[in-house]
Structure 1
Amino acid sequence: MTLPDWKPHAERLAAEVTHPQSRWRPAVASTPRHVFVPRWWGDGADGRTLGDGASGPRRWMRVAYSNTSLVTRIGSRHADHAEPGEKADGLPTSSSTLPWLVVRMYQHARIADASRVLVTAGSGYGTALACRRLADRQVTSIDVDPYLVAAAAERLDTIGLRPTVRVCDITGPLPGTYDRIVATVSLPSIPASLPAALNPGGRLVTTLAGTGLVLTADKTEDGGAVGQIECEGAGFMSARHGEDYPPDLFDVMGDFEEKDDGEESVSPYPVIDVQQAWELWSTFSLEVPGVEHRFRQGQGRGTAWMAHPDGSWAKASAMRDEPARVIQGGPRRLWDELDRIRRRWLVDGRLYTYGARASITPDGVLTLSRGGWSVTVG
């Protein structure tokens, strides 16, 4: 197979995602992203469809050097192991993150030339960028999945990069100490192992699960860390501990689509797709953690469902700009909690998550605060 020259594609991508004077521009321009995504799961009307670089080299170059996330694993099925024409359904469990976001997370880390960094592996592309920016001996890359670690290490080796690559759960003990830790997975809370693995003055960058929030924090003398929620959003897959995520609550608790045996009310607000309203979603997830969401739009009508592990559930439905008809059950009224936050948003003109101050104790308890608002995670 003869491949088109990848370098012009990488240079174009670098120009798209970095400033001309950025020290990350040469890293993006010199890294062959296609090596890390020889196959991927693309979007399809009836499920994820397999994309195979070898069967279409020109398309491979176009896809691999686009500023998009490329899903490489659905559930426990990696695209590397799929058959031609195969489709996959389920939640994505690994990807090659869109390059702009990888670079942005590294910029938040304020990586210095001498920094020793811990990053999460995924496809290995982000690890390669860190190695190009620094030296491979300064980079440690981890993932909970043995195959992802082996594939990333092999592909890094083919382009002459040999960082330390380990099978490791980022929520548990880490294989060293570092000046920077950049987790391109989202965490439900901050494990004590993260501040413990930072060298004095070290910096942590991650996102919080169930939110669009980027957390940056610098280690303090007491072994904790202080920082902030950055004033921009980002979303990553949640950290997992096995081959796949556990079944979602809608599967465990039953089908909610026709459920109508709860308490009925009318909301003063229209239906909203909560997960597409990141500031609202992030605040709600912090104040009412553990809620899962579904949303469907059709013929001008939106319907939203919520489910919580304690058995609480809610269903809201309305035409586009009409007040929502709400049915709720279980020990808590989830939609009322959402409306409470929406009311605060209207009264104050803002919510307080983005830009919030962050404080992490040595044992991993995270407190976010801004103005009179405060919430504790973990």
Structure 2
Amino acid sequence: MNDWEPYAERLADGVAHPVSRWHAPLAATPRHLFVPNWWANNAGQWTLRNGSADREAWLSTVYANRTLVTRVGAVHADLATEPTASGLPTSSSTLPSLVLDLYRYAMIADDSHILVTTGSGYGTALACRRLQDRQVTSLDVDAHLVKTAAGRLDSIGLHPNMAVCDITGPLSGSYDRIIATVSLNPVPASCLSALRLGGRLVTTLAGTGLIITADKVADGGAVGRVEQERAGFMRTRHGEDYAPGLSERFTEIRDQEGEEITTGRYPVLNVREAWDVWSMLELTSPGIEHRFWEGADHLRTAWMVHADGSWARAQGVWSDSPTVHQGGPRRLWDALERVRNRLNTEGGLPLSGARVRIDPDGICHISRGAWSVTLGERA
């Protein structure tokens, strides 16, 4: 027995029932082969980790049910020449239980032909273990990721169809299932075009924690729902790195006095950790970026910025009402409080189980009861 196999068995036991069709693929796939190096985040600093430096620690890490970041900015962990990096994570090996969640939502049948996103290649390997190689197509916008994953898959006898491709652009072939482990918003019309009638798309909406499933219907669109589980994936990118974000704006407004200073109704919240609130805010007021800090004695500060120049800063201790500074053309904290007020008034937000309708051109309509939102408005 190889030394990694007991680790893989424990991972399989932890995330899949023994009778699940995914248990054997998990137990038989050497995840460490796909993650020889990774970036560890320590207080905002990315530090390179090399598996071969400590094999036992390597195996313990990669066979844990956790996401491992393999690319920061434009720097692959496999190619890094410096021990640290800065920027946003741009690729990873997703935690195995979440990969399985998406595959289960896809309702993959024995004869399904599926399209998946590549990343480290580990999720592709699991799909190949579950199906035949020829039934699996794996793509990524990053040529290095595709080449490296293909080589690692080949080394364990797996040979899926591999392609360097932007999932938001034209896709070749047709598929029964498309499973995107990158976030999409709006849903590309190309994904619907590549789905066979009755085929299922599974993805998360960028800027939210929402998993959506949608089955293609006769008019070329798709219908489905927002699933109960929550997940966070990196946004799809179209080049070496993401477009510049709003980091400089956070620096500008860090201690700035607002055009309007008020007392907030609700305590300071780490919005990105409150998944339903974060998701609802993105759907109703898209494009807001967030920062959060908690210091001594539970002093909390939250910052919000938007590309239109709007910003907000709220500071308060634990459950106390915060002091809120806001500026720009819109009041971002007020938008957040409207979402929180709805949550507190109604006991929940109309997200889980909401109906999803995607038009053939990718316009996405989400509704539950009297509430609805449309993403990707036509010009």
Fold conserved (TM > 0.5)?
A: yes
Tell me if structure 2 keeps the 8 A contact 1:250–1:256: no
- Tell me, in whole angstroms, the C-alpha distance in 2 between the residues paired with 1:93 and 1:152: 16
Partner of 2:51 in structure 1?
Answer: 53
Tell me if structure 1 keeps the 8 A contact 2:70–2:91: yes
- 2:359 is equivalent to residue 361 of structure 1: yes
Specify the code of the residue in structure 1 equivalent to 2:330: R
- 2:137 is equivalent to residue 135 of structure 1: no
- 2:225 is equivalent to residue 228 of structure 1: yes
SS at 2:87 equivalent: coil
SS at 2:69 equivalent: strand
- Tell me, in whole angstroms, the C-alpha distance in 1 between the residues paired with 2:5 and 2:277: 41
- 2:198 is equivalent to residue 201 of structure 1: yes
Partner of 1:113 in structure 2?
Answer: 110
Specify the code of the residue in structure 1 equivalent to 2:76: H
Alignment of 1:166-315 (within 5 A): 166-251=163-248, 255-299=252-296, 300-315=298-313
- Tell me, in whole angstroms, the C-alpha distance in 2 between the residues paired with 1:42 and 1:337: 34
- 2:325 is equivalent to residue 327 of structure 1: yes
Point out where structure 1 has 5 or more consecutive residues left out of the alignment: none
- Tell me, in whole angstroms, the C-alpha distance in 1 between the residues paired with 2:312 and 2:345: 24
Q: Report the alpha carbon displacement of residue 253 of structure 1 after superposing the two structures with TM.
A: 7.2
Deviating above 6 A after TM superposition, structure 1's stretches of 4 or more consecutive aligned residues are: none
**C-alpha RMSD of matched pairs (Å):** 1.3
Tell me if structure 1 keeps the 8 A contact 2:365–2:373: yes
Tell me if structure 2 keeps the 8 A contact 1:253–1:311: no
SS at 1:42 equivalent: strand
SS at 2:42 equivalent: coil
- What is the TM-score of this pair, normalised by structure 2? 0.97
Point out where structure 2 has 5 or more consecutive residues left out of the alignment: none
Specify the code of the residue in structure 1 equivalent to 2:30: P
- Tell me, in whole angstroms, the C-alpha distance in 1 between the residues paired with 2:374 and 2:113: 30
Q: Report the alpha carbon displacement of residue 52 of structure 1 after superposing the two structures with TM.
A: 1.0
Partner of 2:375 in structure 1?
Answer: 377
Per-residue CA distance 1:142-165 (angstroms, 9 max, x = gap)? 000111111111111111111011
Partner of 1:10 in structure 2?
Answer: 8
Per-residue CA distance 1:219-273 (angstroms, 9 max, x = gap)? 0110000000001101111111111112221325752111114211111111111
Specify the code of the residue in structure 2 equivalent to 1:34: H
Specify the code of the residue in structure 1 equivalent to 2:70: T
Matched residues, number: 375
Partner of 2:23 in structure 1?
Answer: 25
- Tell me, in whole angstroms, the C-alpha distance in 2 between the residues paired with 1:73 and 1:254: 25
Q: Report the alpha carbon displacement of residue 9 of structure 1 after superposing the two structures with TM.
A: 1.2
- What is the TM-score of this pair, normalised by structure 1? 0.97
Tell me if structure 1 keeps the 8 A contact 2:250–2:303: no
Partner of 1:91 in structure 2?
Answer: 88
